[in-house]
Structures are given as C-alpha cells and as structure tokens.
Amino acid sequence: MTKPIINLEHIDITFRQKKRVIEAVKDVSIAINKGDIYGIVGYSGAGKSTLVRTINLLQAPTAGKITIGDDVTFADGKVQLKGAALRQKRQKIGMIFQHFNLMAQKTARQNVAFALRHSKLSKEEKDQKVAELLELVGLADRAENYPSQLSGGQKQRVAIARALANDPEILISDESTSALDPKTTKQILALLQELNQKLGLTVVMITHEMQIVKDICHRVAVMQNGHLIEEGSVLDIFSNPKEPLTQEFIKTATGIEDALVKIEKQAIVQNLPKDDLLVQLKYAGTSTDEPILNQIYKQFEVTANILYGNIEILDDTPVGEMIVVLSGEAFALAGAQEAILAAGIELTVLKRGA
Ligand SMILES: Nc1ncnc2c1ncn2[C@@H]1O[C@H](COP(=O)(O)OP(=O)(O)OP(=O)(O)O)[C@@H](O)[C@H]1O
C-alpha cells in the first residue's frame, strides 16, 4: 500500500465559548495518497474547513494525530514541529479560498512575489519564478494588473500562482470555485487537474458541490455534523452511495432528480398500461457494454421505451442511469428483470401499470 502524504487519525476539534461547546470535528480519520485529487463534501457547518485547516496546522486539533509526508506534525495533544521546521512544512502546503484573498494594492505580479518574500532566491530568480508561475496559470499578460482589473477567474489564477510559489506538494482548495460562474468554474477545475498531473500536486478540494467531485476528484469523503460518514473512490461512491446524505448529494450531480419529476408528469407514465413497469436501471463498468435491452427483446419480447438516459465516465469507467418503461407479457417481464439483474445491472421498479 502506498504511504499517504496526509494522514489524519482520529481528529477531534472542539471549540469552547463561554458556556457553549462546539464539537466541530469528531473522530475523523482520512488518509490521502500523494498525487490524488481528494474531495471533501458536506453542507455548510459540517466541519470541512476546520478539518483541513489542521493539515497546515492553522487549526490545532483537540485530539488525534497528523502525519504529513514523513513527519508527525501533531500528536499527544501538541504540535510536534517548531519554528523554522513548522514554517517550512507550512510552505509546502498551498491554500486557495473562495474569495481569493489577494492584496488590492498590489499587482498580480506583486501578489505572487509576496509569497516569496522569505525565499532564499536572488531578486532575479524571484522575478523569473513569478513570471513562470503567471505563465503556468495562463496570466502572463496580466502581470501588471491590479485585482480590481481582473475577473473572478483571473483573480483565482493569481491566487493559485501565489499558492504554488514555494513549490508545495499539497494544495488545499477551500470552495475555490464557489464564487465563480459555471464556465469559469470548469476552467479553474481544468487548471487544477493540469497542475495535479503536471506537477504531481496532491489536491484537497473542499466543496459542497458533488458535480466538482465528479469532474476532477479521485476519492471523496462526505462529512455531516463533524463526522465523516462515507469515504471511497469516486466511482464507488457514485455507483453505490450508502448514506442518505451521499445519495442526496449524488442526485444533485446526476440530474436524475429533475428528470424524475418531469418523467412522472408524462402521459405514458401517468397512464402506464397494465403490467408495464417503469424501472430505473443503474450500471457501472462492463455491464454498460451489454446490449441488454436488445437481449430482453430477443429473448422475452419485452420492449424498453427509454425515457431518460445518462452515462458518465468516472475514472475511465462508464457509469450509467436509465429510466425505461418495460412492456410485455407478465411472465416475460419477470424473465427480463432476472436477465437484467444477472447482467450486473441494478434495477428499481418505480411504478407498475395497474
Ligand atoms: N474558531 C471557531 N470558534 C468557534 N466555532 C467555530 C470556529 N470555527 C468553526 N466553528 C464552528 O465549527 C463548525 C464547523 O465549521 P466549518 O467552517 O468547519 O464548516 P464547513 O463544513 O467548512 O462549512 P462552511 O463551508 O460553511 O465553512 C461550525 O458550527 C462553526 O460555527
């Protein structure tokens, strides 16, 4: 097994305010492998930001153990690195935020250069490095612009360049696309994916949007009320979500929820003929290639009227969902359902014709 670059073990984070005790994170363990894009999803207040702030020790846990790379950074109730060692470790962890956090009085170039103020590089090397970073994020021609002269997407690119200034191994993105429109969001996600592949950067993505997880993450953890409730590869989580909250998040990302509302209003579904079945089919991987609907027609003379279909490619694996009306003789319908299940396809009967 590969050794994780980030290992959070049994992390508790409790805030005490006068009479109130807020348990923001409760016994969360997460291991993130080098080179992964790892999503952490959950609604506002679930504890995502508080948890990831422990990775660079902006937030010390109340209890638990943190290992970053080869170093234990937190254990036995205290931070294990001091002074220069802690600063160095923090420099290897870049962070970007929803509201960019750029300095308004400094140009794009100066904002990036600011991150190199403690670097040992010479003035020329720093200038060169800043130019390379702006080039890397596609902003070479905007170096002398102030944040107010840049679009949201461009501001986030400056923030990404700044976060990469000290050659971090880890980049934490805390809702970095939440303030951007859908097209700009896609562009920033594509940039993060490119940096992940080109630089081998490990990316931790906090988000409340499952669509983002689906687009670029390899693994995902779902948080609710301070707990980690489900964790796994994006393929596993999307093809077989176990917890109700995970299922809810996934529905918003696949569009099936909206489709179902529309489908239920269609005449064919409202007046479903006797014995006909309205079914939802879900498949992942090889079963997608099975011409199963063809097979049930040939074998059982059961026809399938496709009302909705959606196929996603997750981690190179097709994952699909369909809503179909199956029509045929009662005994043939039973056989067709068995054949579908035997092909490894999940089948849920949504309605039976009465
Ligand atoms: N410094 C603090 N003092 C007291 N309570 C805090 C502090 N920081 C966070 N909390 C509380 O911890 C809980 C988790 O907050 P957190 O910001 O981690 O959630 P989140 O999932 O990241 O949500 P959001 O996306 O809205 O930031 C919340 O109830 C929040 O009010």
pLDDT at 190: 95
The residue written with tokens 């689906």 in the block is 214
Total tally of structural domains belonging to the chain: 2
Same domain? For 107 and 210 the reply is yes
10 is a domain residue: no
3-state secondary structure of 259: helix
Domain that holds residue 274: 257-352
Same domain? For 316 and 240 the reply is no
**Among 8, 43, 50, 58, which residue has the most ligand 1 atoms within 8 Å of its CB, making it the best to mutate?**
50
Nearest CA to ligand 1 atom 13: 24
Same domain? For 207 and 130 the reply is yes
Of 190, 220, 254, the residue that ends a domain is 254
Same domain? For 149 and 247 the reply is yes
Same domain? For 212 and 332 the reply is no
Atom of ligand 1 nearest to the CA of 25: 14
Same domain? For 267 and 247 the reply is no
Same domain? For 240 and 266 the reply is no
346-352 and 93-97 strand pairing:
unpaired
Same domain? For 209 and 271 the reply is no
125 is a domain residue: yes
Of 254, 276, 302, the residue that ends a domain is 254
Q: What is the mean pLDDT of each run of 10 residues along the chain (354 residues)?
A: 88 93 96 96 94 94 96 94 90 94 96 93 95 95 96 96 96 94 94 95 94 92 97 89 90 78 87 92 70 88 90 80 92 93 89 88
Same domain? For 264 and 316 the reply is yes
Q: Which strand ranges, in their side-by-side order, compose the sheet holding 227-233?
A: 93-97, 170-174, 202-207, 37-41, 219-224, 227-233
**Among 11, 15, 53, which residue has the most ligand 1 atoms within 8 Å of its CB, making it the best to mutate?**
15
77 is a domain residue: no
pLDDT at 80: 95
CATH code assigned at 291: 3.30.70.260
pLDDT at 284: 78
49 lines ligand 1 (CB under 6 A): yes
pLDDT at 303: 93
pLDDT at 250: 85
297 is a domain residue: yes
H or E stretch including 48?
Answer: helix 48-52
CATH code assigned at 175: 3.40.50.300
